[in-house]
Amino acid sequence: MATKIIERLYNTDPELTYKPDLVKYETVHLPKITSYREELASKFPQETVLKPGLLADKGIEIPLDFESSVFKDGPKLAKASGFFTDRELEILELKAIEIIERIAAGEQTALETITAFIKQAAIAQQVTNCAMDFFPEEAFERARELDKYFAETGKTVGPMHGLPVSVKEHYAFKGKVTSCGFVSKLNDVEEIDAYITDLFKKTGAVYYIRTTQPQTIMHLDSFNNIIGLCRNPYNTALSPGGSSSGEAALVGMRGSPLGCGSDIGGSIRCPAAFCNIWGLKPTARRLSCLGSRSQFTKHSNEMILPTFGPMANSADDLELFMKVCSDSKPWLYDNYVLRMPWIKDVKFAIGDLKIAIVLDDGVVKPSPPILRALLLAKKALESAGVGKIIEWESFKTVEALEICYNAYTKDGNFNARAVLGASGEPLAPLTEHYMRFGTGDKKLSNLEIMECENRRDVLRQEFQLKMNERDIDFILTPAYFAPAGIPHKIKYWGYTAVYNILDLPGVSFPTGIKVNKSIDKKDVNYQPRNDMEEYEYPMYDEEVYDGMPIGLMLQGRRYHDEETLAAAKLIQEVISKASRT
């Protein structure tokens, strides 16, 4: 008989306190949603609409609609579509740091850059439904301004001059609706920019798209009632992950060279791993979160802290984001931010790295392709002369999750209920799941919370001492048991959320390894050890996942974001090289 951990981690009461008001929702709010969607759709250019049918000579079949199809060729569309010049295709392949270098050298204009990315974002939107907001005209105008400034002065306005940047919708954006996925907030026009949004604007970023997140921003999936489900660029029947769903899908399609996400339980690392891109969840408070919009408005929850963070197609671009933020000395303007300037010259030799690898977290065993990727990674690192690589023995995973889940619903869902209730919108299945985290609606007393916070502090210390005892600096781990999740079904956050409650920095990266249905067969004889594994493990199926790229994740020591990123870069080079041989 499998162990029961679901009752320990979730409030399994059949009834939730929240009751949707479908009459109010349908009469008052559905019309708003419809017009929001129509307006959004009207912003996308007609000339990049993909016509259903076979793309000439490319072997790619464009479906009648992407929503109900299994489409795996998203990332190939730019080249196949015929919508781009060769120069534009070249631009789409550039790293963010290459784009700004070229523009600063006068080799490329901001206008041609944003033109390419806007066209590609339009394709990404068709394939993945990643956008919550799109404003190409403003982007063109800003790009022209920047080009004019550069032509006249020979200077850039800042280190992001001309760089297209995409941003998760819940970053406050001045003058634009910032609903954070709540129907009731569809009319909320922001008066300020988030610190980071504003900073990047000032340093020359060109904004053109804001991307989707799930209802309550608390799923490792993507559904909200405003724009619906976002899809994975590598397989539209799979989830792009969440909650930075739209960023991952867009960046994964190379519709943006640099995305702004956020993470409190895996929301950067999980979608980055699902969509074959890079994502950094910094240690909390290294970045300003001023202007982060969510259900929490008048209640602070420091039991677990969210963080913003970058998503991109290279480690260097993640670092660019961190450097630009750090160079602005955010701690002088946002009291929340730690005064920890980004250390710019961290470099490792492979022999310096001491790593533990998680082949199983003890709760949900990794699916066959993930396990194969981990073992390949281990072997590749050993061959490359890694300083040390040991298997990580699972350490208090369930206890960490118990504390973590109590933290998420510390307010007994008071705030979520308020913002949801304002429109009466129905709950997505994974919102119901989230509202059952910890003790769910039945909030803990203040003293119980203080005790739980003490358990968290003790656990953080124990975990650190365990890393010291095992003499390792990094943990190489899956981001999820499978290469991506099934929409509406992803319930297990264990591979990522543990590092949120521990407040350790983490980087997701593409391995170059792909699911191969002939070798990564479902283990049908596996006996799940607990009810969570019983739920999750059977969801992997080699037929569904065939061809999916596999991402992994590197977690580091608290506040050692620089080292974690530098190590991830090195490790990724080793693994992806091995994946090609």
- Binding site membership: which residues? 217, 243, 264-267
Report, in Å, the least distance between residue 110 CB and its own copies: 32
Rounded to a whole number of angstroms, the minimum distance from the CB of residue 172 to its own copies is 15
Helix (H), strand (E), coil (C) string for 535-571:
HHHHHCCHHHHCCCEEEEEEECCCCCHHHHHHHHHHH
Within 10 angstroms of residue 3's Cβ, the number of other Cβ atoms is: 15
Cα dist from 217 to 223, 381, 428, 466, whole Å? 9, 36, 11, 32
* Residue ranges binding its own copies (CB under 8 A): 298-302, 331-336, 338-340, 410-412, 414, 443-451, 453-454, 456-457, 460-461, 463-465, 468, 557-560
Is 243 assigned a catalytic role?
yes
Residue 102 DSSP SS3: helix
- For 554, half-sphere exposure in the C-beta direction (CA atoms, 13 angstrom radius) is 30
CA-to-CA distance for 389 and 252, rounded, in angstroms? 30
Of the residues 81, 119, 166, 168, only one is catalytic, namely 168
Nearer residue to its own copies within complex by CB, 257 or 556? 556
Residue (of 290, 294, 264, 308) closest to 502 by Cα position: 264
- What CA–CA distance (Å, rounded) separates 313 from 465? 34
Nearer to its own copies, 453 or 523 (CB): 453
Q: Which of 81, 184, 239, 243 is catalytic?
A: 243
The structure tokens 């509406």 sit at 488
Smallest distance from the beta carbon of 476 to its own copies, in angstroms?
A: 20
Question: Which has the closest alpha carbon to 559: 393, 322, 352?
Answer: 322
Q: Which is nearer to its own copies, 342 or 540 (CB)?
A: 342
Contact 275, 241 (CB under 8 A): yes
Q: Which is nearer to its own copies, 105 or 332 (CB)?
A: 332
Provide the minimum distance between the beta carbon of 458 and its own copies in the complex, in angstroms, as a whole number: 9
* Cβ count near 523 (within 10 Å): 14
383 carries an active-site annotation = no
Return d(Cα 82, Cα 210) in angstroms, integer. 26
Beta bridge partner(s), residue 391: 357
Q: Which of 41/465 has CB closer to its own copies?
A: 465
Between residues 273 and 475, which has the closer beta carbon with respect to its own copies?
Answer: 475
Of 140 and 331, CB closest to its own copies: 331
- How far is 502 from 249, CA to CA, in rounded Å? 27
- Residues 445 and 455: their CA atoms lie apart, in Å, by 15
Nearer to its own copies, 233 or 412 (CB): 412
- Could you tell me which of 478, 492, 472, 427 has the C-alpha nearest to residue 564? 472
Residue 3: both structure tokens together: 């162990």
Per DSSP, helices labelled H in 43-190 are: 77-81, 86-92, 96-104, 110-128, 136-153
Given the residues 184, 245, 262, 267, select the one marked as catalytic: 267
Q: How far is the CB of 472 from its own copies (least distance, A)?
A: 13
DSSP code, position 130: -
Torsion of CA 496, 497, 502, 505, to 10 degrees: 40
- DSSP 8-state secondary structure symbol assigned to residue 46: G
- For residues 495 and 274, the answer to whether their CB atoms sit within 8 Å is no
DSSP-derived letter for residue 191 is S
Closest separation in Å from C-beta 257 to its own copies: 30
Residue 437's SS3 state is strand
Q: Pinpoint the alpha helices (H) of 195-331.
A: 195-202, 245-252, 269-274, 315-327
Q: Residues forming the annotated binding site for substrate?
A: 217, 243, 264-267
Taking the complex as a whole, how short is the minimal distance between the CB of residue 207 and its own copies, in angstroms? 25
**Alpha-carbon torsion, ordered 222, 479, 556, 353, to 10 deg:** -140
- Tell the smallest beta-carbon distance from residue 300 to its own copies (Å): 4
Q: In angstroms, rounded to a whole number, what is the distance separating the alpha carbons of residues 231 and 213?
A: 12
Tell me whether residue 243 or residue 439 sits nearer to its own copies (CB atom): 439
Q: How far is the CB of 477 from its own copies (least distance, A)?
A: 19
Residues marked active site are found at 168, 243, 267
